[in-house]
Amino acid sequence: SVVAEGKVRLARTAGKSIPAGWIVDRDGQSSTDPNALYDGGALLPLGGLDAGHKGYALSLMVDLMAGALSGGGASGPDRKVNCNNFTVIAIDHARLSGDGAIADEAARFADWIRAATPTDPVRPVMLPGDVERAHRARHQREGIPLDAGVIAALKEAAAITGLSPDIVSRTLKLATP
């Protein structure tokens, strides 16, 4: 999809709108209201409204793999939007190439991709996971920026489980949003 459903959920919790082109409402119209997703709307496939047909088959395959193979069920009108099924396919590359050739080739390929000249010199060419690794490092240094709605939900969850809501601020390194 254009965006992970969790980002829409976070925007909804924070009471914020989302960029146009992430979702459509139940009538198939683009919406910036994250609530529209949970009221019969849908995440758009990669490529959005203009070229989403290019990612449509891939999104169907991923849905089937994550839903049908996991036993959790693929998407449909009777399924919750925020159901997070997944399937893991593990390949033991050591059995395919015990000499490390596959890992070496993957590293060479990644280095080649990252060495490409970016269209914007301020934004380097990145691979999947690079943004997340950078965010993790920043969060370890500076804390995790959470909006008031998420903090309130964590405190409520603590209270429901019999813990003091203060445990949230005592255990999490929170950054000032």
Whether the CB-CB separation of 18 and 35 falls below 8 Å is answered with no
pLDDT tens by residue, 94-143: 888 878 888 899 999 999 999 999 999 899 999 999 999 999 999 888 88
User: 6-20, 59-73, 139-153 — which one is most confidently predicted on average?
Assistant: 6-20
Whether the CB-CB separation of 78 and 38 falls below 8 Å is answered with no
pLDDT of residue 110: 96
pLDDT higher than 60, residue 82: no
Give the pairing type, strands 144-145 and 174-175: parallel
Task: Report the alpha-carbon distance of residue 93 to residue 99 in Å, rounded.
Answer: 10
pLDDT higher than 60, residue 177: no
* Range scoring the smallest mean pLDDT among 2-6, 18-22, 52-56, 88-92: 52-56
pLDDT of residue 151: 87
Whether the predicted model's global pTM rises above the 0.85 cut: no
pLDDT tens by residue, 19-67: 999 999 999 999 999 999 999 998 888 877 777 677 678 778 888 888 8
Task: Report the alpha-carbon distance of residue 76 to residue 40 in Å, rounded.
Answer: 10
pLDDT of residue 83: 65
Task: Report the alpha-carbon distance of residue 165 to residue 44 in Å, rounded.
Answer: 37
